[in-house]
């Protein structure tokens, strides 16, 4: 069985239409279970108290915002390389969801930051990068909306996702203890 046949919208959309109700039920069930475990069943933190519970919403939202952006970039590369319409459609479909998760991550981070740090916003590199990610999502959505109404090629909108190195440098490397700068520090 060849998976290439699913790159055609005529083949993919009927299959997706049949699977959406099942995935919706699974998503709602896992969402309710996750909210119960994070907001009710988890014990109170000994340092932060009840405030830390927002982390159970904030962290998954931030990870989903970054993951969706990387998936959009992969679809952008596929759209440019193989010239598949479905890849461009998937990018357009993922962008509003990514923007929503990014806005949720910024909002919940501010709600957690006020009682924890005493301020809603500190110009930390990850916070600023998340704000830039939100601007990238909004810019992509504006660009795609503008290009749909005109006869300009959609390739410019696909290239918008090529800003992945900015996001990788800002999110993935600091989280893994990665490469803070080019200089090499020697252990003594």
Spans of all domains in the chain: 1-42, 50-182
CA–CA–CA angle 66, 72, 75 (5° rounding) = 145
158-168 pLDDT per residue, tens: 666 566 555 55
82-90 average pLDDT score: 81
pLDDT of residue 185: 36
106 in Cβ contact with 130 (< 8 Å): yes
User: In Å, what is the CA distance from 62 to each residue of 21, 27, 67, 134?
Assistant: 26, 18, 9, 11
Q: What pLDDT is attached to residue 157?
A: 58
Angle of helix 125-148 relative to helix 55-82, nearest 10 degrees, comes to 40
- pTM as predicted: 0.77
Rounded to the nearest 5 percent, the helix, strand and coil shares of the chain are: 80, 0, 20
pLDDT at 87: 82
Q: What is the pLDDT of residues 137-176, one digit of tens each?
A: 998 888 888 877 654 546 665 666 566 555 555 554 444 4
């Amino acid at each position: 069985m060849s998976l290439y046949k699913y790159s055609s919208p005529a083949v993919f959309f009927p299959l997706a239409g049949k699977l959406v109700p099942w995935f919706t039920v699974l998503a709602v069930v896992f969402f309710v279970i996750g909210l119960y475990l994070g907001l009710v069943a988890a014990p109170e933190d000994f340092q932060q108290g009840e405030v830390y519970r927002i982390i159970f919403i904030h962290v998954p939202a931030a990870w989903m915002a970054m993951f969706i952006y990387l998936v959009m970039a992969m679809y952008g590369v596929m759209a440019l390389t193989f010239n598949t319409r479905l890849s461009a459609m998937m990018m357009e479909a993922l962008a509003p969801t990514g923007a929503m998760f990014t806005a949720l991550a910024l909002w919940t981070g501010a709600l957690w930051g006020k009682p924890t740090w005493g301020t809603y916003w500190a110009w930390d590199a990850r916070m600023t990068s998340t704000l830039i990610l939100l601007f990238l999502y909004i810019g992509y959505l504006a660009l795609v909306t503008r290009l749909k109404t005109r006869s300009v090629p959609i390739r410019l909108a696909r290239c918008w996702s090529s800003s992945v190195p900015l996001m990788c440098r800002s999110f993935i490397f600091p989280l893994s203890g990665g490469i803070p700068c080019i200089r090499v520090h020697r252990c003594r």
